[in-house]
């Protein structure tokens, strides 16, 4: 069992942080890599990119939004409980290089994935502007940490309850207009990454995105996480999860992410009905 040593609720309880004892993974993991978690015997294997690792303490941190049955089960795990299985680190690590001016764009729980990458980009000497967004102020996560991890932090909310009133892309455009941006890293919902990539293409700025397709084993065996990159099929688990944002077929990715939509909703609703009844 992989014990949970810290648990926090973020974004009005819709986003959960778990710090988990996994010494071998903590020792090996690099920014951008992910783990696969399985709560119990009947559980599904869920891939999540690590938000942080502490090699000395032997822990890893994951942050996830509660969306389906499996994440609802994850949410119900308390400190002292554990995940039956944690597998990793999987995927390729982010290529961290000193390029100059960088924009890191994060949306939703993507901010958690973006955090270690932003920190690493800053540590190596890049000038990092970070733009994070959420639907409203209550749903915004990790503002303080992102402030520490970057040189300049901009915040947006869709409803204007905090920071810039509008989308991350609007703020990103302003920064791009300032010129000299060498790299954009965008991690968040697929429509956000698609919108960011469309804009940066016009500005001819290299853009890196982190994809989260449906996956089973995470080691290149099942091929469920197929994504089309520049017309070629890649497996996000071993070839990614990060790819050139200008080459990703986002529409296909969105369709594939909906493959089990009906089953997932039914399963989640059933689980919550049973849980709430108890």
Partner 1 sequence: MAEKAAKNTKNPRIAMPEQEPKVRARNFLEVPTGYTVKMAQEEAARCLQCKKPACVQGCPVGVDIPGFIDLLSQGDMTGAIRNLWSKNALPAVCGRVCPQESQCEGLCIVGRKGEPVAIGNLERFCADYERENGTGELPPKAEPTGKKVAVVGSGPSGLTVAGDLIVKGHDVTIFEAFHKPGGVLVYGIPEFRLPKAIVAQEVNFLERLGVKVECNAVVGKTVSIQELLDEGFDAVYIGVGAGLPRFMNIPGENLVGILSANEYLTRANLMKAYEYPKVDTPIPKGKNVTVLGAGNVAMDAARTAMRLGAEKVRVVYRRSREEMPARAAEIHHAEEEGIELFLLTNPTKYIGDENGRLTGMECLKMELGEPDASGRRRPVAIEGSEFHLETDLCIVAVGSGANPLLTAETPDIKLNRWGNIDADEANGKTTMRGVWAGGDIVTGAATVILAMGAGRAAANSMHDYLTLGW
Selected binder of partner 1 within 165, 201, 266, 275 (CB under 8 A): 266
Residue list 86-105, contact with partner 1 (CB under 8 A): 86-90
Contact 200, 236 (CB under 8 A): no
> Measured in Å, how far apart are the chain's first and last C-alpha atoms?
25
Computed from CA positions of residues 244, 247, 250, 256, in that sequence, does the dihedral angle turn out positive or negative? negative
* Residue 84 near partner 1 by CB under 8 A: yes
Least distance (Å) between residue 161 CB and partner 1: 34
Separation of alpha carbons 63 and 50, rounded Å? 8
Contact 80, 2 (CB under 8 A): no
Selected binder of partner 1 within 6, 125, 152, 233 (CB under 8 A): 233
* Residue 252 near partner 1 by CB under 8 A: yes
* Residue 224 near partner 1 by CB under 8 A: yes
* Residue 25 near partner 1 by CB under 8 A: yes
Separation of alpha carbons 276 and 278, rounded Å? 5
Selected binder of partner 1 within 69, 115, 119, 194 (CB under 8 A): 69
Task: Provide the token pair at 244.
Answer: 């050139």
* Residue 226 near partner 1 by CB under 8 A: yes
Separation of alpha carbons 41 and 92, rounded Å? 28
* Residue 44 near partner 1 by CB under 8 A: yes
* Residue 221 near partner 1 by CB under 8 A: yes
Least distance (Å) between residue 232 CB and partner 1: 10
Q: Residue with structure tokens 């790819």? A: 243
Q: Choose between 67 and 260: whose C-beta lies nearer to partner 1.
A: 260
Q: Choose between 86 and 103: whose C-beta lies nearer to partner 1.
A: 86
Selected binder of partner 1 within 42, 144, 204, 276 (CB under 8 A): 42
Q: Closest by alpha carbon to 155, among 181, 138, 137?
A: 137
* Residue 256 near partner 1 by CB under 8 A: yes
* Residue 45 near partner 1 by CB under 8 A: yes
Least distance (Å) between residue 41 CB and partner 1: 8
Contact 36, 47 (CB under 8 A): yes
- Burial tier of 219 (Cβ tally within 10 Å: 0-12, 13-18, 19+): middle
Contact 183, 208 (CB under 8 A): yes
Least distance (Å) between residue 189 CB and partner 1: 18
Q: Closest by alpha carbon to 215, among 87, 82, 78?
A: 87
Residues that bind partner 1 (CB under 8 A): 24-25, 28, 38, 42-45, 69-70, 73, 84-90, 216-217, 219-224, 226-228, 233, 238, 251-252, 255-256, 258-260, 263-264, 266-267, 270
């Amino acid at each position: 069992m992989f014990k949970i040593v810290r648990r926090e609720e973020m974004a009005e309880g819709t986003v959960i942080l778990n710090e988990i004892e996994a010494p071998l993974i903590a020792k090996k993991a690099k920014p951008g890599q992910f783990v696969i978690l399985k709560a119990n015997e009947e559980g599904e294997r869920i891939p999540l990119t690590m938000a942080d690792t502490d090699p000395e303490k032997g822990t890893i941190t994951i942050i996830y939004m509660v969306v389906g049955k499996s994440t609802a089960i994850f949410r119900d795990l308390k400190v002292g409980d554990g995940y039956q299985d944690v597998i990793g680190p999987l995927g390729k690590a982010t290529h961290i290089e000193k390029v100059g001016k960088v924009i890191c764009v994060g949306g939703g729980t993507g901010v958690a994935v973006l955090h270690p990458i932003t920190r690493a980009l800053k540590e190596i000497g890049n000038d990092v502007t970070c733009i994070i967004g959420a639907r409203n102020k209550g749903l915004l996560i990790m503002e303080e940490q992102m402030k520490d991890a970057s040189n300049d932090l901009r915040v947006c909310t869709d409803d204007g309850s905090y920071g810039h009133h509008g989308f991350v892309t609007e703020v990103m455009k302003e920064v791009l207009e300032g010129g000299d941006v060498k790299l954009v890293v965008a991690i968040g919902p697929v429509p956000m990454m698609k919108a960011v990539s469309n804009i940066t293409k016009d500005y001819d700025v290299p853009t890196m995105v982190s994809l989260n397709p449906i996956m089973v084993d995470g080691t290149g065996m099942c091929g469920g996480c197929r994504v089309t990159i520049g017309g070629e099929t890649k497996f996000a688990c071993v070839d990614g999860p990060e790819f050139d944002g200008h080459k990703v077929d986002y529409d296909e990715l969105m369709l594939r992410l909906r493959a089990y939509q009906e089953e997932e909703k039914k399963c989640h609703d059933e689980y919550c009905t049973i849980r709430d009844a108890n």
